[in-house]
Structure 1
Amino acid sequence: MASAAVGTKRSFAAMSEDNRSPTSTLSTLHDVNMSAGLYSRQRLMTNIEESLTSMTSSARSTPRHTPVPTSPPSEIRRIFEPDASIVLIGMRGTGKSTLAIIASMACRRRVVDIDDLFQEATGFSTAKYRKQFGAANHNLRQEELLRTALRAHDKGAIIVCNGGSLERNGQLLMQEFAATHPVIHIVRDLHSIHDYLGGVELRRLRDMLAFSAPILRRCSNYEFCNISEHAPSRSSTPSDQPIAPAFLTLKRAQRTFLKFLSLILTRDTTDGPVGNANPPLEPGYPLSDVATELRKYTCAVQVPLSDLLGEDVDIQTLEYGSDAFELVVDPTDLDPHSQRLRTERADDISNCISKIRRSTVVPILYHVLPSASKDYSRGSYLEHIRHGLRMAPEFISIDLSIGTDTVAELIASRGRSKIIGHVHADKSWDHRSWSNYYETAVRLGCDVVRFTRPAKSVDDDASVHHLRSKIHARNSTVPLICHNTGRAGRRSTCFNKHLTSVIPEPVRDKPDFAARCERNPETSWLTAREVTQALYSTFTFDMMKIHLIGARTQYSLSPAMHNAGYAACGMPHQFKCVQTSTLKSLQEFVHDPNFGGCIVIQPFKIEVISLADSLSQHARAIGAVNTLIPVRHLNGDGSVPGDLELFQERCQSGAVQALHGDNTEWIGIRSCIRRGLSPANAVRPTTCALVVGAGGMARSSVYALLQLGVKNIVVFNRTLEKAEDLVVHFTRLVSSSAGASLVPSATIQGSRPMFHTMKSRDDPWPEGFRQPTIVLSCIPADPIDDNPAPHFTLPEQWMKSSTGGVVMELAYRTLNTPLMNQIREEPSRLWTFMDGLDWLPEQAFAQFELFTGKRAPRRIMREVVLQAWRDEHGNADPEMVERRMKAIDDQEP
């Protein structure tokens, strides 16, 4: 049986100090993952009782003149100062402490725990203080400490507050704080909390959560559902493989929470004393820099909330070929006493949004079916919308027919979510109300407008096209989604340009499809693959020829991986390898009107720069190019257009006017490092990395490390001069004004990155550098021409990190290497090993985006890489493939 990875409450004194010893850091993160059985049961049970007692008894123990906490104002402003402190509130066992550590390391903020402050100030735990001095004194002391803490830690902190601290006055204090700060209610499923607490009667715990949830939601402006992760048991792991360290079970929670924070925090353009307040979301991936709503011919897959409530939902499969994930929520009746969402309903929505966010990289579109078509009240619709805003979806639709004042109120409380003004009606497309709705939406500040109408016949397509053209001629700044629905509306759906609604592949063949359409008249009749195929069949898009060029291409896995990705998305592109000793073949490809791009491998990554008319900032910084894309339209001054314009012309044939060069290798390296590093080894100013090699891949590795914020980098290469050249290149980069704006680690906390070169494997680890927790081997692992394989292993004196780390060998033709065996046999089991089969798909996802303008079907490409791999003798390894295929489901998207 797999066991849930649960947190254990600890003091934060040692957790938030950057100068703590490696040993204490390791024990902290180990404790976070240990069973609650190591926690004092007596103290835990006392605290649980206190959480409920404090809230329920506050009315009796607090003076009568104390104002009763009210619901927060309907208009909540969710825009904060970049360094505004973040508060995590929730019941015990929801994982606040673990999430606080994760956030503090990523955002470079200190952690403040209200319970610890109480203990330090009074010498008592909250439970013992209540018992000795009474509930009234306890509540007054809690209020005093909470008020002082919120004032003293107004900026640059992660504040952790249990439900027991929020008696009546505490609730008012937190509501006031939420007006200018993000206050996040952390929720978790009942059974995971029960497993963590142990010994608490399930029924009583359920009652406690039902009682506390409305209170905690009133005190907060955001909500995050902390989905429990599961660690593999020893019996499920092959005997020849080390069991993954327990801390890696937190990786998905870490990624999901940091993604959530990136969506609610204001991005600072400068790094203050606490670093940047907003951890970046997938920086470097080409499509991350282009607004989804501005790209053409994008799709949003519709999935009802009810389809996501099961435990075995495969979200990645549902969103193949789509550019957004649309969660469709059908309003339900409200709690008759509070006239708000029932706790179970709110929990379901929160849980499903977290499921989507942890399983995909595409943005979430939260859509509540307009209440006009249902028996439920307008109040139910608005409560569902307001709860959705707490989840920080990238997009949220608002029914424009509910009135301008209400729409304006909701838009004012959107935070950083983008608003889609939505209307679904039976009125003819010629009716003037459509234009009026669009003008109103633009005036109120909607980011996108969406109009849909049930099609009466295929002749309605002409009318919808006329309306699109009419609105575009008057205002083209706010994207318009406009198409017919139903079977007769399929053609207009295909040619809608923005966030076209589609359904998952198997939905239409299910017996309940008619009932689904009855419940939601806006249900699409097309899949993303069908829409894509229609665009190619009508010559809106063209088949592209994509190439890989290099001196040794026979072992490349790129053709199989890319062709599988194209097929999964319904694209007819062709990918071919060209083995050559010169770049003359590339010049021939470029003259083909269907040239779609080229992957460049050794030995041409530097030489090809001379053929590129423009370079991405990353390729320029690295000094190497591994991806070329055609440019078919130039700006008026002859320059290459920006990213959005380049994506708008993807998959369209024509004469090539220029070539644009990019580098995706560093993206794959960075992704693997982030996936392999434990929270204990999260990057901080003292983190040190070792790069073995000094060629093109080593350059990409150093750049990836700098992008991660690593400030201490040691380079070892057999030829010392090449290592020194690499160090000189990046020293100049981080010292330049351009490099300072491009590389986060160049400016964080004032000091520039430090580099050091090692002369020999016999050298001791350099003084002033901590032992490395990141090791990247960028040298060949197999013979090349007449040169034998290096058979590199790490010297013992370079592997003294007490918290282990991640070791990655970027070669993939030979997997059973001396370095891999060394890490596998490491007795501490604290090191994670990754190889080229981990790295190759990660960088290919970025190439897929550059070639197609669409997100890659990641799981499919990962699976095909494993299936297509052969060793140096042309042999497959079925056991290895099976083992790694099983692990794909547990990987981050």
Structure 2
Amino acid sequence: MLPTPPSRESRVAMPGIKNERAFEPNASIVLVGCRGAGKRTLGFMGALHLRWRLVTEDHYFEKVTSLSRGQYLLHHGKENFARQNIDVFKRMLDSNRTGCIIECGMSSFADEAQDALRAYSKSNPVVYVHREKEHILQLLDAADAEQLLKADEGHRSCSNLEYYNLYDSSNSTPVPASGTSTPMDRRQLGPSKLLGAREDFTKFLDFITGRGATRAWLESPFSVAAIPPELRSYSYALRLRLSYLVDMDLEWDDFEARGDCVELIIDHWPDDLLNVIATQVALIRRKLGVPIIYHVEENPRGERQRTPAEKDEMDSELLELGLRLGVDYVSIDLQRNEAFVNRIFQHRGRSKVIGNYWYLGFGALPWHDDKQIENYGRARALGCDVVRIVRFCAGDSDVEILQDFKKRIQNAFPDPRPPLVAYDFSVLGARTPLQSRILGPVKHPDMENERDHLATICTYNHTYELLFRQFLLDPLQFYVLGSNVSYSLSPAMHSAAYEFSGMPHTFQAVTCSTLDSLNQICSSDSFGGACLTAPFKVAIMPHLKVKSHHATAIGAVNVLLPLRGQTNVILDHANSRNKAGPARDFFGDNTDWSAILTCLRRAISPRNYVQPSKTTGLVIGAGGMARSAIYALIQLGCRNIFIYNRSIHRAAEVATHFNKWAATPQGVTAAASGTLAANGVISVVPEICRVLPSLSEPWPRNFQLPTMVVSCVPATSVDGNPPADFEMPLDWLRSPTGGVVVELAYEPLVTPLVAQMQAFRDNVSPSWVVVDGLEVVGEMAIEAFELMTGRMAPKRLMKEVGRRTWEQQQQRGGASSFS
């Protein structure tokens, strides 16, 4: 079992300041908004994710009255229908206060219904769902569209949270070609339109309910999502101004892995300001996937000078919007008036508060002044999660002065003590990038940064590189280890990511097959971590001090990390990455399953969206990768999984492992994840894995044909075993909605199964999607990089390098599988 998640609970409530958005974790969540905003789809996704009941207004009305809306209107008339509609609406809210996602229909436009929602929002989250006006206009009748959209704006006044349902206009995203053709057919579907919305909305729900960070930590404490930026050894905030984003000259992909979080600075008031901000928050979440610091600049560019009252009113409204959007951090100036500051704390919900003291002009308060200690003390007493003190410095500022101030803070205030961000800046930017250990301001190297003196010269790559130059971090050696790794793609992908991130690490493939040889490599003081292949994935398990939740469930690991912390606290070990020294013990994780899961989610069509009691998955093989594939299917919500393997005995062992695990408390929770019966009640089938004894037998009765197939057998000979020559029996390919086939092997890239499915798709059923092994191995490398280094991975770069390296290997004559 993993230790308790890290906590910096520093809030000391002030008299009279109550967090009005601190809802109970199981408080029902209401979705309101215009027709066409996507409430029903989001509600279904949310109910599956939280394992709550989905309550829709139409269904509830029919349940109470035994008539549909249309029937009730026909039988009782317009006036009686209107009265009954509101009464049922109020009853729906009142009788479903916990454990539900409630999707409201057109009734929420009525004044009386909105009054009920305002009252309900005092105890429950009420989420206003909206999206691009242009997209909704395409879905609504032109006659009443504009009027309906105008009325929709009233939903802001009766809700306490907002979700901007960003529309993905692309039908497909082809796999990026690397300049030269390969035998692999490139006609592959990219991410489903629902994938981005599902990932964004489920994270939004995790934020509302407060389960996101805890879940990430308990599943794998070394994942990037598990440790918030303020608790990491080093972290950087990429500063992006609204005035730049509305007319940006770089692509979103260019900002990938350029910081541990984004500080969105509201410095501009364009037309339709609130929706513009909501759009940019949604884009940062979708494109970059990092926490957001939301900062409202006091004097926006291009605006007239405002009176203090006008500043307070407008800035409060903009900060309130950030809190409604559920940003991870809201940044406030503690030098504003008390009422302004208190209002933010009243409405903060689950957003963390960064309390600022900015000294921007000449004569800034020096670090040694006792007033600075008082500033920190006030921020701590208010309940700030992070304290940020920044001062303009026209002349020299000795590093020792700032270090002495930080020591005084430590001596003056006992734990819990909110993390401190403190640094000087001049017109050239932060005086030294290393003044602040956490949340240091950085920019993109190619971005002009007008008006932003805090990050003019600091970039993430350069700043992180300085840590190694000054020996605060150490160059380490990373490996892929196993009996057949000589042509692994991992060294090229990881090395490219190291260069991008400014880390002087090395990554090499070393062939070894015994635990003794593995131990010899791992005992080095410069050992940073290893990706493991056969024969180590299962054999290493008994020798690990700590394992992730997923690795324990699967019974195999593919990532090995040293534990070098000076204490037994797992956060100390996680923050000791990128540092050399003797390893106290080792930690094991499994990224195979999550890479497979990602590829399945991207390729599966909306028609084949997983229905737990019906959807069927098929796994070919019974080794470590097959275990990961089965676990991925379970996490996706599939409860009917079949295994085919040459050795029936090995297939039965794997099936028994997961059927036993599914009966444990953790297994019950995971197997139920994403499963709702028709009546909204979670149901679990004890036996989730079954063995197929022969390819010649018809598909088992009472089970749907497979729509998700994962082949986990190497296409080259490994350990003397013959290479895979598996092809699907045609009788098993009769799914009317097609499906997705994920092939994990990539040498050859076109395996017999891939060749078969390409021909079947082209000539029989175009609804089948084929995902090649290079896509999967790219995802594995990305997750392994983040576990090993604790840094965000440059995903696009790593995938491009992986494909390019594979093509070069083909010209030289071969590659390996699964690494």
Q: Pick the TM interval, shorter chain.
A: 0.7 to 0.9
Query: 2: CA distance between counterparts of 1:234 and 1:667?
Result: 20
1:593 is the counterpart of 2:520: no
Asked whether 1:265 is paired with 2:204, we answer: no
Shift of 1:219: 1.0
Asked whether the 8 Å contact 1:458–1:488 carries over to 2, the reply is no
Instruction: Give a deviation string over 1:581-634, Cα, whole Å, max 9, x none.
Output: 445544443454322122222223333446544433433333333222222345
Q: TM-score, normalising length from structure 1?
A: 0.78
* Mapped pair 1:505 → 2:471: no
Counterparts of 2:247 and 2:722, CA distance in 1: 53
CA apart distance, 1:432:
2.5
- The reply to whether residue 188 of structure 1 matches residue 126 of structure 2 is no
Cα 1:163–1:506 change in 2 (3 A) is farther
Aligned to 2:116: 173
Change (3 A) 1:538 1:205: same
Shift, 1:246, TM fit = 10
Offset of residue 75 of structure 1: 7.5
Q: Within the alignment, does 1:250 sit opposite 2:194 as a pair?
A: yes
What is the SS of the residue equivalent to 1:355?
Answer: helix
Residue 542 (structure 1) shift = 1.2
Partner of 1:320: 257
Aligned position for 2:13:
none
With 555-564 and 585-594 compared, the bigger mean Cα shift is at 585-594
Name the CA distance, whole Å, in 2 between partners of 1:459 and 1:530.
22
Distance 1:127 1:711, change over 3 A: closer
- 2:283 alignment partner in structure 1: 355
Q: What is the match of residue 420 of structure 1?
A: 354
Q: For the structure 1 residues 282 and 392, does the alpha-carbon distance in structure 2 shift closer, same or farther, using more than 3 Å as the test?
A: farther
Deviates more, 1:155-164 or 1:87-96: 155-164
**Which position in structure 1 is the counterpart of 2:7?**
none
* Paired residues for 1:529-608 under 5 Å: 529-608=461-540
Corresponding position: 1:483 with 2:407: no
Aligned to 1:627: 559
Match of residue 789 from structure 1: 723
CA drift at 1:667? 2.1
Please list the CA deviations of residues 435-457 of structure 1 after superposition, one character each: whole Å capped at 9, or x if unmatched: 22222222222211111111223
Q: Which shifted more, 436-445 or 306-315?
A: 306-315
The residue that corresponds to 2:11 in the other structure is none
Q: 1:769 and 1:345, CA in 2 relative to 1: closer, same or farther beyond 3 A? A: same
CA displacement, residues 387-416 of structure 1 (integer Å, 9 cap, x when unaligned): 100110111112212244543432232222
Letter aligned with residue 292 of structure 1: P
RMSD: 3.7
Deviation of 1:848 after TM superposition, in Å, equals 1.2
CA separation of 1:608 and 1:159: change in aligned 2, threshold 3 A: closer
Gaps of 5+ in 2: 1-15, 178-182, 676-681, 815-819
Change (3 A) 1:596 1:461: same
554-563 or 252-261: bigger deviation? 252-261
Q: Residues 749 and 786 (structure 1 numbering): CA distance in 2 closer, same or farther, change over 3 Å? A: closer
Alpha-carbon deviation of 1:302? 0.6
State the percentage of identical aligned residues.
33
Is residue 658–residue 688 contact of structure 2 (8 Å, CA) maintained in 1? no
Q: Give the 3-state SS of the residue equivalent to 1:494 in structure 2.
A: coil
The range that moved more, 319-328 or 369-378, is 369-378
1:390-409 correspondence to structure 2 within 5 Å: 390-409=324-343
Q: Give 1:184 shift.
A: 1.4
Aligned AA (1:288): A
Q: 1:814 aligns with which of 748, 752, 755?
A: 748
Shift of 1:282: 12
1:91 shift after superposition = 1.9
Amino acid of the structure 2 residue aligned with 1:442? R
Could you tell me how far 1:433 is from its partner in structure 2?
Answer: 2.8
CA gap 1:300/1:605 in 2 versus in 1, 3 angstroms? same
Shift of 1:100: 2.6
Following TM superposition, by how much is the alpha carbon of 1:749 offset from its aligned partner in structure 2, in angstroms? 3.2
Corresponding position: 1:720 with 2:648: yes
Q: Is the 8 A contact 1:320 1:857 kept in 2?
A: yes
Taking structure 2 as the reference length, what is the TM-score of the superposition?
A: 0.85
1:841 maps to: 778
Matching residue's letter, 2:156: R
Q: Deviations over 1:198-246 (max 9, x none)?
A: 645xxx855753x335411001111111222224489999999686679
Q: 1: distance between equivalents of 2:437 and 2:630?
A: 40
Aligned partners of 1:75 and 1:410 also within 8 Å? no
Residue in structure 2 matched with residue 760 of structure 1 by the alignment: 694
| Counterpart pick for 2:791 among 854, 858, 876 | 854
C-alpha displacement at 1:680, in angstroms?
4.2
Confirm or deny: 8 A CA contact 2:172 2:192 kept in the other structure. no
2:166 — aligned with what?
Answer: 227
Name the CA distance, whole Å, in 2 between partners of 1:480 and 1:235.
Answer: 45
Report if aligned partners of 2:47, 2:54 keep a CA contact under 8 Å in 1: yes
The answer as to whether partners of 2:174 and 2:189 remain within 8 angstroms in 1 is: no
Residues 240 and 626 (structure 1), Cα distance of their counterparts in 2 relative to 1, 3 Å cut: closer
Residues 224/75 of structure 1: CA separation in 2 closer, same or farther (3 Å cut): farther
Within a 5 Å distance, the mapping from 1:115-264 to structure 2 comes to 139-162=82-105, 165-197=108-140, 199-200=142-143, 205=145, 209=149, 211-232=150-171, 248-264=192-208
Mapping 1:1-40, distance limit 5 Å: none
Distance in structure 2 (CA, Å) of the matches to 1:701 and 1:122: 45
When residues 283 and 707 of structure 1 are mapped into structure 2, their CA distance, relative to the original with a 3 A threshold, is farther
Task: Name which of 798, 814, 818 aligns with 2:732.
Answer: 798
Letter in 2 for 1:438: Y
Measured in 2, the distance between the counterparts of 1:545 and 1:268 equals 32
Q: Which amino acid aligns with 1:390?
A: R
Aligned to 1:467: 405
Distance 1:205 1:704, change over 3 A: closer
Asked whether the 8 Å contact 2:473–2:578 carries over to 1, the reply is yes
1:731 corresponds to 2:731: no
Deviation, 1:427, is 1.8
Is 1:295 equivalent to 2:232 in the alignment? yes
Maintained 8 Å contact 2:566/2:572: no
Aligned partner of 2:597 in structure 1 is 670
What does 1:367-446 align with in structure 2 at a 5 Å threshold? 367-370=295-298, 375-376=305-306, 377-425=311-359, 426-446=364-384
User: What's the secondary structure of 2:349's corresponding residue?
Assistant: coil
- Aligned residue in 2 for 1:869: 806
C-alpha deviation, 1:524, in angstroms: 4.9
What do residues 413-472 of structure 1 show as CA deviations (whole Å, max 9, x unaligned)? 222211111221232222223222222222222211111111223425333222222112
- How many aligned residue pairs are there? 770
Residues 461 and 491 in structure 1, CA contact (< 8 A), matched pair in contact too: no
**Residue 615 of structure 1 contacts residue 661 of structure 1 at CA under 8 Å; is this kept in 2?**
yes
Q: Which amino acid aligns with 2:579?
A: Q
Residues 1:797 and 1:78: Cα distance change in structure 2 (over 3 Å) = farther
Alignment correspondent of 1:21: none
* Cα displacement string for residues 821-845 of structure 1 (whole angstroms, at most 9, x for unaligned residues): 3333233333332232121122222
Shift, 1:561, TM fit: 0.5
Deviation at 1:791, TM superposition (A): 2.0
Deviation at 1:107, TM superposition (A): 3.3
Contact 2:478–2:505 (CA<8 Å) still a contact in 1? yes
Name 1:95's counterpart in structure 2: 38
Whether the 8 Å CA contact 2:219–2:550 is kept in 1: the answer is no
SS of structure 2 residue aligned to 1:869: helix
In the alignment, the residues of structure 2 paired with residue 255 and residue 614 of structure 1 have an alpha-carbon distance, to the nearest angstrom, of 28
Contact 1:566 1:573 in 2 (8 A): yes
Secondary structure of 1:429's counterpart equals: coil
1:78 aligns with 2:21: yes
Q: Is the 8 A contact 2:260 2:791 kept in 1?
A: yes
Deviates more, 1:606-615 or 1:93-102: 606-615
Q: Is the 8 A contact 1:371 1:381 kept in 2?
A: no
